[in-house]
Amino acid sequence: MTAAPFPLPVDPTAPLLLFDSGVGGLSVLRKVRLLLPQAPVIYVADNAGLPYGDKTEAQIAARVSGLLGRLTERLRPRLVCIACNTASTIALASVREVLEVPIVGTVPAIKPAAAMTKTGVIGLLGTEATIRQSYVDRLEAEFAADKRLLRHAAPELVAAAEAKLRGDPVDPAVFARAAQTLRMMADGDRIDTVVLACTHFPLVEAELAQAFGPDVSFVDGSDGIARRIAYLTDGQPWERKDADIGLFTRGGNDVDRLKPCLAAHGIGRIALF
Protein backbone atom coordinates (compact mmCIF):
# COMPACT_ATOMS: atom_id res chain seq x y z
CA MET A 1 0.00 0.00 0.00
CA THR A 2 1.34 3.43 -0.93
CA ALA A 3 1.61 5.86 1.93
CA ALA A 4 -0.62 8.92 1.76
CA PRO A 5 1.30 12.00 0.64
CA PHE A 6 2.01 14.77 3.11
CA PRO A 7 -0.41 17.68 2.71
CA LEU A 8 0.93 20.54 0.66
CA PRO A 9 1.86 23.71 2.57
CA VAL A 10 -0.97 26.21 2.80
CA ASP A 11 -0.41 29.68 1.42
CA PRO A 12 -0.93 31.90 4.51
CA THR A 13 -2.72 34.49 2.37
CA ALA A 14 -5.21 31.92 0.97
CA PRO A 15 -8.64 33.17 2.09
CA LEU A 16 -11.74 31.63 3.52
CA LEU A 17 -14.62 32.03 1.08
CA LEU A 18 -18.06 32.61 2.62
CA PHE A 19 -20.96 32.36 0.19
CA ASP A 20 -24.59 33.41 0.58
CA SER A 21 -27.43 34.74 -1.53
CA GLY A 22 -27.15 38.08 0.26
CA VAL A 23 -25.87 39.49 3.53
CA GLY A 24 -27.23 36.69 5.72
CA GLY A 25 -23.82 35.05 5.83
CA LEU A 26 -22.54 38.00 7.84
CA SER A 27 -24.12 36.31 10.86
CA VAL A 28 -21.70 33.43 10.25
CA LEU A 29 -18.78 35.76 9.55
CA ARG A 30 -19.25 37.34 12.98
CA LYS A 31 -18.62 34.00 14.67
CA VAL A 32 -15.72 33.09 12.38
CA ARG A 33 -14.02 36.39 13.25
CA LEU A 34 -14.18 35.52 16.94
CA LEU A 35 -12.31 32.24 16.45
CA LEU A 36 -10.06 33.21 13.53
CA PRO A 37 -9.48 36.97 13.72
CA GLN A 38 -6.42 36.84 11.44
CA ALA A 39 -8.07 34.85 8.66
CA PRO A 40 -8.35 36.66 5.31
CA VAL A 41 -11.93 36.42 4.08
CA ILE A 42 -13.69 36.82 0.76
CA TYR A 43 -17.42 37.27 1.29
CA VAL A 44 -19.55 36.49 -1.77
CA ALA A 45 -23.18 37.59 -2.03
CA ASP A 46 -25.15 36.30 -5.00
CA ASN A 47 -27.55 39.20 -4.75
CA ALA A 48 -28.47 38.87 -8.43
CA GLY A 49 -30.07 35.55 -7.46
CA LEU A 50 -31.66 36.77 -4.22
CA PRO A 51 -33.93 35.36 -2.87
CA TYR A 52 -33.09 31.67 -3.19
CA GLY A 53 -36.08 30.57 -1.14
CA ASP A 54 -38.63 30.96 -3.95
CA LYS A 55 -36.55 29.09 -6.56
CA THR A 56 -36.72 25.43 -7.50
CA GLU A 57 -34.19 22.91 -6.27
CA ALA A 58 -32.80 22.52 -9.78
CA GLN A 59 -32.34 26.27 -10.19
CA ILE A 60 -30.55 26.61 -6.86
CA ALA A 61 -28.29 23.59 -7.39
CA ALA A 62 -27.23 24.75 -10.84
CA ARG A 63 -26.62 28.34 -9.78
CA VAL A 64 -24.68 27.55 -6.62
CA SER A 65 -22.55 24.86 -8.25
CA GLY A 66 -21.72 27.08 -11.21
CA LEU A 67 -20.83 30.12 -9.14
CA LEU A 68 -18.71 28.23 -6.63
CA GLY A 69 -16.90 26.42 -9.41
CA ARG A 70 -15.86 29.71 -11.00
CA LEU A 71 -15.11 31.37 -7.67
CA THR A 72 -12.81 28.62 -6.42
CA GLU A 73 -11.00 28.41 -9.74
CA ARG A 74 -10.33 32.14 -9.77
CA LEU A 75 -9.80 32.90 -6.07
CA ARG A 76 -8.12 29.69 -4.80
CA PRO A 77 -9.64 29.69 -1.28
CA ARG A 78 -8.39 27.22 1.30
CA LEU A 79 -11.97 26.48 2.38
CA VAL A 80 -15.48 27.34 1.21
CA CYS A 81 -18.37 27.92 3.60
CA ILE A 82 -21.85 27.88 2.10
CA ALA A 83 -23.32 30.27 4.66
CA CYS A 84 -26.87 29.70 3.47
CA ASN A 85 -29.30 27.07 4.73
CA THR A 86 -31.24 26.92 1.46
CA ALA A 87 -28.17 26.46 -0.71
CA SER A 88 -26.64 23.96 1.70
CA THR A 89 -29.68 21.72 2.11
CA ILE A 90 -30.05 21.54 -1.69
CA ALA A 91 -26.59 21.82 -3.23
CA LEU A 92 -24.03 20.83 -0.59
CA ALA A 93 -23.60 17.22 -1.72
CA SER A 94 -23.23 18.10 -5.40
CA VAL A 95 -20.78 20.92 -4.68
CA ARG A 96 -18.61 18.60 -2.58
CA GLU A 97 -18.43 16.17 -5.50
CA VAL A 98 -16.99 18.72 -7.91
CA LEU A 99 -14.82 21.03 -5.78
CA GLU A 100 -11.41 20.00 -4.49
CA VAL A 101 -11.42 22.22 -1.41
CA PRO A 102 -13.02 21.59 1.99
CA ILE A 103 -16.68 22.64 2.02
CA VAL A 104 -18.56 23.57 5.19
CA GLY A 105 -22.32 23.82 4.90
CA THR A 106 -25.11 25.28 6.99
CA VAL A 107 -27.98 23.17 8.30
CA PRO A 108 -30.94 23.99 10.54
CA ALA A 109 -29.94 23.78 14.21
CA ILE A 110 -32.56 21.19 15.12
CA LYS A 111 -30.19 19.10 17.23
CA PRO A 112 -29.27 21.87 19.70
CA ALA A 113 -32.87 23.08 19.73
CA ALA A 114 -34.06 19.62 20.78
CA ALA A 115 -31.57 19.69 23.63
CA MET A 116 -32.68 23.17 24.70
CA THR A 117 -36.47 22.90 24.69
CA LYS A 118 -38.26 22.34 27.98
CA THR A 119 -41.79 22.10 26.58
CA GLY A 120 -40.86 19.81 23.69
CA VAL A 121 -42.31 22.20 21.09
CA ILE A 122 -39.87 23.84 18.69
CA GLY A 123 -40.57 26.45 16.05
CA LEU A 124 -38.54 26.58 12.86
CA LEU A 125 -38.33 29.67 10.67
CA GLY A 126 -36.78 29.28 7.23
CA THR A 127 -37.29 29.92 3.57
CA GLU A 128 -39.88 28.04 1.54
CA ALA A 129 -37.15 25.98 -0.14
CA THR A 130 -35.49 25.04 3.15
CA ILE A 131 -38.49 23.92 5.18
CA ARG A 132 -39.69 21.48 2.50
CA GLN A 133 -36.38 19.63 2.18
CA SER A 134 -36.09 15.95 3.06
CA TYR A 135 -32.82 16.91 4.77
CA VAL A 136 -34.87 18.75 7.37
CA ASP A 137 -37.13 15.72 7.72
CA ARG A 138 -34.07 13.57 8.43
CA LEU A 139 -32.74 16.00 11.04
CA GLU A 140 -36.12 16.01 12.74
CA ALA A 141 -36.32 12.20 12.71
CA GLU A 142 -32.79 11.82 14.06
CA PHE A 143 -32.67 14.52 16.72
CA ALA A 144 -36.25 15.59 17.50
CA ALA A 145 -38.37 12.48 17.01
CA ASP A 146 -39.80 12.88 20.50
CA LYS A 147 -40.42 16.61 20.05
CA ARG A 148 -42.93 18.62 18.05
CA LEU A 149 -41.36 20.69 15.27
CA LEU A 150 -43.52 23.42 13.77
CA ARG A 151 -42.19 24.86 10.49
CA HIS A 152 -42.99 28.19 8.91
CA ALA A 153 -41.64 29.77 5.73
CA ALA A 154 -40.94 33.44 6.44
CA PRO A 155 -39.44 35.02 3.30
CA GLU A 156 -40.37 38.47 4.61
CA LEU A 157 -37.60 38.11 7.18
CA VAL A 158 -34.94 37.84 4.45
CA ALA A 159 -36.00 41.15 2.97
CA ALA A 160 -36.26 42.64 6.47
CA ALA A 161 -32.69 41.65 7.33
CA GLU A 162 -31.37 43.05 4.06
CA ALA A 163 -33.26 46.30 4.66
CA LYS A 164 -32.05 46.58 8.24
CA LEU A 165 -28.41 46.25 7.22
CA ARG A 166 -28.90 48.94 4.55
CA GLY A 167 -30.22 51.24 7.26
CA ASP A 168 -33.84 51.19 6.07
CA PRO A 169 -36.75 51.15 8.52
CA VAL A 170 -38.50 47.79 8.86
CA ASP A 171 -42.17 47.40 9.79
CA PRO A 172 -42.46 45.53 13.14
CA ALA A 173 -45.52 43.76 11.69
CA VAL A 174 -43.13 41.58 9.66
CA PHE A 175 -41.81 39.98 12.85
CA ALA A 176 -45.21 39.87 14.51
CA ARG A 177 -46.61 37.89 11.56
CA ALA A 178 -43.83 35.30 11.80
CA ALA A 179 -44.43 34.82 15.51
CA GLN A 180 -48.20 34.78 15.21
CA THR A 181 -48.20 32.18 12.43
CA LEU A 182 -46.17 29.73 14.50
CA ARG A 183 -48.20 30.47 17.63
CA MET A 184 -51.47 29.73 15.81
CA MET A 185 -50.37 26.20 14.84
CA ALA A 186 -51.42 23.24 16.99
CA ASP A 187 -49.34 23.41 20.20
CA GLY A 188 -47.79 26.65 18.97
CA ASP A 189 -48.60 28.32 22.25
CA ARG A 190 -46.06 25.97 23.89
CA ILE A 191 -43.11 26.95 21.70
CA ASP A 192 -40.13 27.83 23.87
CA THR A 193 -37.33 27.44 21.31
CA VAL A 194 -37.13 28.73 17.74
CA VAL A 195 -34.63 27.54 15.13
CA LEU A 196 -33.48 30.34 12.85
CA ALA A 197 -32.98 28.21 9.75
CA CYS A 198 -31.76 30.99 7.49
CA THR A 199 -28.53 32.88 8.06
CA HIS A 200 -30.39 36.15 7.48
CA PHE A 201 -32.61 35.60 10.51
CA PRO A 202 -30.03 36.02 13.33
CA LEU A 203 -29.50 39.53 11.95
CA VAL A 204 -33.05 40.35 13.13
CA GLU A 205 -33.06 38.18 16.25
CA ALA A 206 -33.66 41.17 18.52
CA GLU A 207 -36.80 42.07 16.58
CA LEU A 208 -37.99 38.45 16.62
CA ALA A 209 -37.36 38.23 20.35
CA GLN A 210 -39.60 41.21 20.91
CA ALA A 211 -42.33 39.62 18.77
CA PHE A 212 -42.17 36.20 20.45
CA GLY A 213 -41.76 37.44 24.00
CA PRO A 214 -39.27 36.73 26.80
CA ASP A 215 -40.04 33.01 27.21
CA VAL A 216 -38.64 31.97 23.82
CA SER A 217 -34.98 31.19 23.06
CA PHE A 218 -33.40 31.25 19.62
CA VAL A 219 -30.75 29.02 18.12
CA ASP A 220 -28.92 29.00 14.79
CA GLY A 221 -26.00 27.12 13.32
CA SER A 222 -23.37 29.86 13.24
CA ASP A 223 -21.41 28.76 16.31
CA GLY A 224 -21.10 25.21 15.01
CA ILE A 225 -20.05 26.43 11.57
CA ALA A 226 -17.31 28.62 13.03
CA ARG A 227 -16.01 25.75 15.17
CA ARG A 228 -15.96 23.45 12.15
CA ILE A 229 -14.00 25.96 10.07
CA ALA A 230 -11.53 26.45 12.92
CA TYR A 231 -11.12 22.68 13.26
CA LEU A 232 -10.50 22.12 9.54
CA THR A 233 -7.91 24.91 9.42
CA ASP A 234 -6.26 24.15 12.75
CA GLY A 235 -2.53 24.81 12.66
CA GLN A 236 -2.60 26.60 9.32
CA PRO A 237 -0.81 29.95 8.99
CA TRP A 238 -2.80 33.12 8.33
CA GLU A 239 -1.68 36.38 6.77
CA ARG A 240 -3.97 39.21 5.72
CA LYS A 241 -2.18 41.51 3.26
CA ASP A 242 -5.11 43.78 2.46
CA ALA A 243 -8.61 44.60 3.61
CA ASP A 244 -11.06 41.75 3.19
CA ILE A 245 -13.28 41.93 0.14
CA GLY A 246 -16.98 41.52 -0.54
CA LEU A 247 -17.99 40.30 -3.99
CA PHE A 248 -21.50 40.86 -5.32
CA THR A 249 -23.08 39.46 -8.46
CA ARG A 250 -25.03 42.68 -9.01
CA GLY A 251 -24.15 46.27 -8.20
CA GLY A 252 -26.36 49.25 -7.54
CA ASN A 253 -27.55 51.56 -4.81
CA ASP A 254 -28.51 48.75 -2.45
CA VAL A 255 -24.92 47.48 -2.41
CA ASP A 256 -23.55 51.00 -1.92
CA ARG A 257 -25.78 51.46 1.11
CA LEU A 258 -24.43 48.25 2.65
CA LYS A 259 -20.88 49.63 2.81
CA PRO A 260 -21.02 50.86 6.44
CA CYS A 261 -22.38 47.50 7.62
CA LEU A 262 -19.82 45.57 5.58
CA ALA A 263 -17.02 47.74 6.96
CA ALA A 264 -18.24 46.99 10.50
CA HIS A 265 -17.78 43.30 9.65
CA GLY A 266 -14.23 43.88 8.45
CA ILE A 267 -15.02 44.02 4.73
CA GLY A 268 -13.21 47.08 3.45
CA ARG A 269 -13.43 46.52 -0.30
CA ILE A 270 -16.38 45.78 -2.58
CA ALA A 271 -16.29 44.49 -6.16
CA LEU A 272 -18.52 42.72 -8.67
CA PHE A 273 -18.09 39.11 -9.71
Residues with catalytic annotation? 84, 198
Closest CA to 86 of 153, 140, 32, 143: 153
SS3 120: coil
HEC per residue, 149-196: EEEEECHHHHHHHHHHHHCCCCCCHHHHHHHHHHHCCCCHHHCCEEEE
CA distance 62 to 47: 16
Closest CA to 107 of 178, 194, 198: 198
Closest CA to 261 of 39, 26, 84, 19: 26
Q: Contact 208/179 with Cβ under 8 angstroms?
A: yes
Length reported for the chain = 273
Are β-strands 79-82 and 103-104 bridged in parallel, bridged antiparallel, or unpaired? parallel
Could you tell me which residues come within 8 angstroms of residue 33 by beta carbon, excluding any fewer than 6 positions away? 265, 266
Please give the DSSP secondary-structure letter assigned to residue 126: E
Closest CA to 119 of 206, 216, 220: 216
Q: Contact 69/99 with Cβ under 8 angstroms?
A: yes
